[in-house]
Amino acid sequence: MTTKMEEKLPKELIRMALILVLGAVAPMLDTTMVNIAVNQFAYDFHSSLDTIQWVITGYVLATAIAVPFSGWLINRFDGKHIYLAAELLFLISSILSGISWSIESLIAFRLIQGFSAGLIIPLLTTLLVKAAGQENMGKLMSIVGLPIILGPILGPVIGGGIVEYFSWRWIFFVNIPFGVIALYFIHKKLPSFPAANKQAKLDGFGNILLGALSVSYIYGITQAASGSGFGNAKAIAFIIIGVILTVVYVIYAFLKPKKVVVPLNLFKYRSFSASIISLVLAGIGTNGAMLLLPLFFQNIRNDSVVLTGLSLIPQGLGMLVARPVIGKMIDKIGAKIVVMIAIVITLIGTIPFLWFTQNTNYGVMAVVLFIRGMGVGGITIPIMTDSYTGLSKNQIPQASIATRIIQNIGGAFGSALLATIVAQQMNHLEPSLSNLTSAYHAAFLVSSALTLVMFIPSLFLTNKVTRKAKILTINNKS
């Protein structure tokens, strides 16, 4: 029987994980807060929403460009120094964004901010997995999930309060205390992560391809969400470019297997391949609904931004409650069973939205959102954890890059798809509250269906119960 001492993580490991997570809190909060201030940007800078949109789109695209470079940086330099530099760059760009004097300057500083955030998140995962080892990954990945959970919980509430009672500039200035504290602890308390290969050469062509294909997909999908759906000519053009660049990268990776940032041999690991497919579906089925929910409260129930943020807190609380349990379960029974159970719970917390209306009781919705939060919290963390199963230390940065790219693209596609479904439904109906409600119901139905499809790739995730039973059988026979 496993003792309590064996189940506990070393204090040094927990401290290191918390320091790394602290560095990611500001970027995760920033992402959700800035979305709320779009109208204020337009008013203060006297700019059209088409121009203002680049404050958000530019950030996302810069994040996508940065991700492929993180693998080379962590191989070439000390991981601690890279994380410290990325955090400092995010802090400086946050201050510059807050003092922006024009829409052009704000967009430029947001590009820098996005690039630094694009380094922070994959570095966080890579350093943690390197330090944790296979046996502790579940528990530690549940700690990594903290900023991902805190962003959707606190971001809309803090951002809404700042926009309503202060200046939008404080959305960026609020990053200063987080950044300064994180820099202190990273510098003083975080251990060094020596370079895996100081002679590592930057695969410029491969990095450019990965960055370009990510940008093409995300920009194309974003255009679909803001235009006439996936019938938008510009959206189709960029998505086609993304497909072409993907084919080119696959050919290049086949010809230069030892040089590329994300080698194709990662896909020979069943858990990695299943995780990649699951992350795409999770981005569409679960993350897409994350965009849909605040819009439902604002457009159907006419709630303010602040009230919407408060209404969504039960979902975040559900994720927080599930987080420590999920980590222990992953380490004990593997990702397969955990994800399957989480899918069922997510469906229980999503399907009721097919019938929710303007008059549905807040208490009922809070309970359903709490259940949904527990389910969603049990999907992404096990999938991310299982993507590293069986990999060598040199492959961990490569896997981090691949999973982050897939998360970015899947999340963008999910948001665009569900927003397009709502828009397309309304194109054929008279504009009314009942018809708009029906359009949201259709989007929630698609989200639920795609969440259900996740059962298929989850069958190929790690099942430690079966593995332990096989080992026990072999031992008994011998």
The superfamily CATH assigns to domain 266-478 is: MFS general substrate transporter like domains (1.20.1250.20)
- Secondary structure of 310-336 in the HEC alphabet? HHCHHHHHHHHHHHHHHHHHHHHHCHH
The full length of the chain comes to 478
Looking at the predicted structure, is the pLDDT value of residue 417 above 80? no
Looking at the predicted structure, is the pLDDT value of residue 139 above 70? no
| Local confidence band at 281 (pLDDT 50, 70, 90 cut-offs) | confident
Averaged pLDDT, 361-389? 85
Q: Where are the domains of the chain?
A: 8-202, 204-260, 266-478
The answer to whether domain 8-202 and domain 266-478 are alike in fold is yes
pLDDT at residue 475 in the model = 45
pLDDT at residue 431 in the model = 74
Cα–Cα distance list, 160 to 29, 432, 466 (Å): 12, 27, 48
- The region of weakest confidence among 151-155, 325-329, 368-372, 436-440 is 151-155
How far from chain centre, in Å, is Cα 86?
A: 18
Looking at the predicted structure, is the pLDDT value of residue 473 above 50? no
**Residue 165 burial (CB < 10 Å; 0-12/13-18/19+)?**
exposed
Query: What would the pLDDT profile of 206-234 be if each residue is shown by its tens digit?
Result: 778 888 887 788 777 777 666 555 667 77
Looking at the predicted structure, is the pLDDT value of residue 478 above 60? no
Averaged pLDDT, 91-103? 90
Q: How far apart are CA 55 and CA 62, in angstroms?
A: 11
Give 8-202's CATH code, choosing from 2.40.480.10, 1.20.1250.20, 3.30.70.360, 1.10.287.3240: 1.20.1250.20
Q: Is 128 left (phi over 0), alpha (psi -120 to 50) or beta?
A: alpha
Name the CA radius of gyration of the chain, rounded: 22
Q: How far apart are CA 141 and CA 289, in angstroms?
A: 23
> What global pTM score does this model have?
0.75
Q: Which residues fall within 8 angstroms of residue 383, CB to CB, at 6 or more apart?
A: 275, 278, 279, 282, 335, 339, 461
Q: What are the DSSP calls for 67-113, one per residue? A: HHHHHHHHHHS-HHHHHHHHHHHHHHHHHHHHT--SHHHHHHHHHHH
